Chains A and B, each alone.
Chain A
C-alpha cells in the first residue's frame, strides 16, 4: 500500500472512532467497550491470511499460525456473545412506565 494513502486511512479511521463514541450515553459504555472488543476480532481475517500462506512443512510456522487463528476466532466469537447478551437486556427497557 502507498505510504501516504495508509497514513490518510489511519487518520480518518482515528477521527471516525473518536466521533462514533463521543455521543454514547454512559449506560452503554460497557456494552460499547465489549462491542469494540468484538470489532477488533476482525484480526481473525489477518490471522487466516498468514496461516493460509505459512509453509506447511514448517511446524513452527504452522503452530504460530494456528495460535493466531485460534485466538482471533476466540476474540470474535466471545466478543460477539458477551456483547449480544448485554444488549439483549436493553430490549424491554425502552417502555416508559407510568408515574414519576
Chain B
C-alpha cells in the first residue's frame, strides 16, 4: 500500500519534471516551470522518507539540511556573472552523488545481475568524471586555476586512463562481490580521468564542457536509477542526458568546434600558430566622438561580450541605449550564441539590467541588418566579431559563425587595451578603415559617452 503510493508519487513527479522543462522552453512560462519542478522535488523527497525499511533517518536529515543549506546560501549570494561556475559545481555534486550511490551499492553487495552491474559501473564512471571534471571547470571559471595545462601525449594518457577504468569496471562486473581495493582503485582512476580530460580545455570552450558534463550527470543518474529500480531517477536522468547532449551539440555548432575537437585539440593562439599577420593600424576615438556618431545615427546595433559583463557595465549600456532611443535612434542588441560563458548567458545578464527581450536578437536574426546600421558598438567582445573567421582559411577560428559588425557604416570598439581576444587571435576588425577604438573599461567609457550624449541633448 505504502509502496504503491510512493510509486504513484514518483510517477507524478516524473511527469511534472518533463512538463516543467517544457514550460522552461518559453520565456513567458519559464518561471512557472522551475517552480513546478521545485514542488515536485520536495514531494519526491518527502515521500521517500516513507520507503519501507528506511533507517539512518537522523543522519539523512542532517545531510539534506547541511547540503541543501550550503547550496541554497551560495546560490542566493553568487553574482550573475559567476552563474556558469555555480551551475558547473552543482552539476558536479549531482554526478558525485550518482557515483556515491554506486559505491554504496557495491559496498553493500546489492548489485545483482550483469545488466545492473554494467549500468552501475557505467553510472559510477560517468558520475565520477562529471564530478571531478566539474570541479576543474569551477576552479577555472572562478580563477582559482589560471592556466590550462596539457600533459605531453595528453590524448594517449586520456585513452590509457579510460582503458584502465574500463578494465577495472569489467573486473567489478565479473565478480559477484567485488573486492574493495578494486572498487576504490576504479573510483580513483575515474576521478583522475575527469581531471585530466578537463584540465587542458581553455576558457572559451568551457561552456561546451559544462553542458557536456551536465548531460553526463543526467546519464549517470539514469543508470543508477535502473540499479535502484527507481523509474523517477531513470526518466529524469535520461531526459536530462538527452537534452544536455542536444544542447552541447548546439553550442559546439555555434562555435564551429566539433565536440571531439573541444576535448582533444584545445584552441590556443600559440598552439595553432595559424592566421595571417594583420595589416594596418588601430585608430583611436574619443568618447565625445563616439557619443556624437551614435546620437546622430538612425540605427545602432550593440554587440556585448563577456568583457562588458565582467566590467558590470550592462546597466550603464542599457542607460545609454535608452538615452539614444529618446533621441529617436533605433538601438538593438546582437548576441552571439557563445557570448558570455554559456549560450544565453548574455541574455540573462542583459535581462538583469532590464533590457526587454524584444530588443535582443540572435546571430541569424540580425546579421543581415548590420549593412543597414550606422553604428555597430562592440563592447568587450572580440573573437565573435573577427572577420577572419569568414576570410582567412588558415585562421584557427575560420568557419566560426560571427556577427558581421564590420559591415556597419561605423564600428566603435570599446576595449580595455590593445591585445588579442580570449583565444589569442589578432582581430582584423580593429584594423579596418571604418573601425574606431574607444579605450577604457566598459563601465567608465560608456559612462563618459552618456555624459556627452546628455550634453548634446541640452
Contact = CB atoms under 8 A, between A and B. Distances in A.
B94 A72 contact: yes
Contacts of B359: 97
B198 interface: no
Contacts of B107: 58, 60-61, 64
Interface string A33-50: 111111111111111111
Interface in B53-87: 53-57, 59-60, 62-72, 74-76, 78, 80, 83-84, 86-87
Contacts of A41: 41, 90, 94
A39 B343 contact: no
Given A45-B232, A46-B230, A82 B217 contact: no
Contacts of B243: 17-18, 20-21, 32, 36
A58 B135 CA distance: 29
B55 A13 contact: no
B325 A43 contact: no
B195 interface: no
A47 B100 contact: yes
Interface string B77-106: 010100110110111011011101101110
B31 A36 contact: no
B65 to A, nearest CB: 8
B134 to A, nearest CB: 10
Contact of A73 (B30, B64, B83, B354): B64
Given A28-B344, A73-B63, A80 B38 contact: yes
A20 B239 CA distance: 9
Contacts of A40: 91, 94, 214, 217-218, 221, 236-237, 240
A41 B20 CA distance: 14
Interface string B124-164: 00000000000000000000000000000000000000000
Contacts of B233: 42-43, 45-46
Given A20-B243, A53-B55, A68 B238 contact: no
A86 B83 contact: yes
A31 B50 CA distance: 33
A70 B67 CA distance: 5
B351 interface: yes
A35 B101 contact: no
B256 to A, nearest CB: 16
Contacts of B169: none
A81 B91 CA distance: 13
A49 B230 contact: yes
Nearest to B235: A13
B201 interface: no
B108 A71 contact: no
B87 to A, nearest CB: 5
A33 B210 contact: yes
B97 A72 contact: yes
B283 to A, nearest CB: 30
B97 A92 contact: no
B192 interface: no
26 contacts: A16-B18, A18-B243, A25-B27, A30-B348, A31-B24, A32-B243, A34-B83, A36-B243, A40-B236, A41-B90, A42-B17, A42-B232, A46-B221, A47-B97, A48-B51, A49-B230, A56-B56, A64-B100, A71-B96, A80-B37, A80-B41, A82-B83, A86-B80, A86-B83, A88-B31, A97-B356
Interface of A: 1, 3, 6, 9-10, 13-18, 20-56, 58, 60-62, 64-97, 99-100
Given A40-B236, A52-B60, A65-B100, 5 more contacts: A39-B236, A43-B237, A79-B87, A82-B86, A94-B356
